Amino acid sequence: MDQLEAMRTFVKVVQLGSFSAVGRDQESSQATTSRRISALESKLGVKLLTRTSRELSLTEVGVDYYQRCMAILAEMDEADAVVRSQTASPKGTLRIAAPIAFSRLVLAPMLASFCNQFPDIEFEILASDQHVDLINKGVDVAIRAKQLEDSSLVARPLSDNPMLLVASPDYIKRYGAPKSPEQLTQYSCLVYSTREKSSVWRFECDGQDYNISVNGQMKCTNGDTLLEAALAGLGITELPIWMVRQYLSSGRLVQLLSDYKGISLPLNIIYPQNRYVPLKVRCFIDFLLNYAEENEVFKNTF
């Protein structure tokens, strides 16, 4: 058994999620992929993957082995690049997980500039408002608006990400604007239901905290849908400034209770805590941090 080849196959199985997908990717067969994984497990004396009729998942020891394989293979690839004098031109596929709205409004517009600078890097973007397991999904980098809870991951601050209270001019014309946080209970509030305690909106003004239990006609797990509902005049919603800035500037949305500071959900760049961070990942993180400093989309004032 070629252990290095088996390790690469194992990593691909984790990233692509099936033996058949790896077979197509490596221009071999599903049976060949299965034999390589079985031989690797036999050599190690452990089960790396749990197989069912519908999916594959890593065992506990498989998670650890996957992380170590990723680090070893990355170092080998980097060593090859050094020998070939290609370290200034990183290559490979970068798998990025990010919320749907962030992928649309931030990632997509910046990719043209990044790809011009690094033409040999390809992207696979997992756009989802649900939590994505970086290890099991083979994700290189994630953008998250929450505190880091996993010690196997590293977080780099990207933006303060303040939340603004907004509604359409038509909604305000029909129902009026709230004068204080307490009055929000009298309005239809559009709630982002994925967030913990999503129906409690928090504000601060002059040292006083306000925790308001809101309700309305709609809850949703997707920020883009809440934005469209607010634009259509369905109610008041709370969204990050980078999502609503252009609509506030054009007058399609109105900021409410601007004297009251809403919560901030800091955006972080998240990546696995390996001893070695691949060059393609380092280049992308540095680019994104510089982009955040220079681009208006990340400014925290309207």
How far from each other are the two terminal CA atoms of the chain, in whole angstroms? 60
Tokens standing for residue 122: 């390809």
CA distances from 76 to 1, 86, 225, 228 (A): 19, 13, 44, 47
Cα–Cα distance for residue pair 297/154, rounded to 1 Å: 24
Q: What is the pLDDT of residues 71-82, one digit of tens each?
A: 888 878 777 766
Query: Which pLDDT does position 277 carry in this prediction?
Result: 78
Tokens standing for residue 270: 């998240």
Query: Which pLDDT does position 301 carry in this prediction?
Result: 64
Residue 53 pLDDT level (bands cut at 50, 70, 90): low
User: Considering just the CA atoms, what is the radius of gyration of the chain in Å?
Assistant: 23
Please check the confidence at residue 86 and state whether its pLDDT lies above 70. no
Please check the confidence at residue 83 and state whether its pLDDT lies above 70. no
Cα–Cα distance for residue pair 158/293, rounded to 1 Å: 9
184 and 257 both lie in a single domain: yes
Indicate whether 132 belongs to any domain.
yes
Query: Which pLDDT does position 275 carry in this prediction?
Result: 60
Tokens standing for residue 13: 């199985």
Q: Which domain holds residue 24?
A: 3-81
Question: Residue 86, Cα to own-chain centre: how many angstroms?
Answer: 29
Query: Which pLDDT does position 184 carry in this prediction?
Result: 94
Please check the confidence at residue 87 and state whether its pLDDT lies above 60. no
Domain boundary residue, one of 24, 55, 81: 81
Nearest to 152 by CA among 134, 169, 130: 134
Domain boundary residue, one of 53, 81, 109: 81
10 and 99 both lie in a single domain: no
State the Cα angle at 18 between 285 and 128, rounded to 5°.
Answer: 45
With contact defined as beta carbons under 8 Å apart, do 13 and 69 qualify? no
Domain boundary residue, one of 46, 62, 81: 81
pTM for the model: 0.69
Q: Considering its fold, how many domains does the chain have in total?
A: 3
Instruction: Specify the pairing of strand 267-272 against strand 141-144.
Output: antiparallel
246 and 270 both lie in a single domain: no
35 and 118 both lie in a single domain: no
Please report the DSSP string for 182-245 in residue order: GGGGGS-EEEETTSTTTTEEEEEETTEEEEEE---SEEES-HHHHHHHHHTTS-EEEEEHHHHH
Q: What is the pLDDT of residues 188-231, one digit of tens each?
A: 999 998 776 778 999 998 888 889 999 888 999 889 999 999 99
CA distances from 158 to 15, 162, 287 (A): 26, 12, 11
Indicate whether 87 belongs to any domain.
no
Size (the chain), residues: 302
Indicate whether 154 belongs to any domain.
yes
User: What is the average per-residue pLDDT within 163-176?
Assistant: 96
Please report, for the domain that includes residue 23, its CATH number.
Answer: 1.10.10.10
Indicate whether 139 belongs to any domain.
yes
Please report, for the domain that includes residue 103, its CATH number.
Answer: 3.40.190.10
206 and 244 both lie in a single domain: yes
Indicate whether 40 belongs to any domain.
yes
Please report the DSSP string for 35-103 in residue order: HHHHHHHHHHTS--EEE-SS-EEE-HHHHHHHHHHHHHHHHHHHHHHHHTT-TTS--EEEEEEE-HHHI
Quick check: helix, strand or coil at residue 236?
Answer: strand
Indicate whether 11 belongs to any domain.
yes
182 and 225 both lie in a single domain: yes
Please check the confidence at residue 32 and state whether its pLDDT lies above 80. yes
Question: Residue 105, Cα to own-chain centre: how many angstroms?
Answer: 13
Indicate whether 86 belongs to any domain.
no
Number of helices (H), then strands (E), in the chain: 10, 15
Cα–Cα distance for residue pair 202/199, rounded to 1 Å: 10
Nearest to 51 by CA among 30, 24, 25, 69: 30
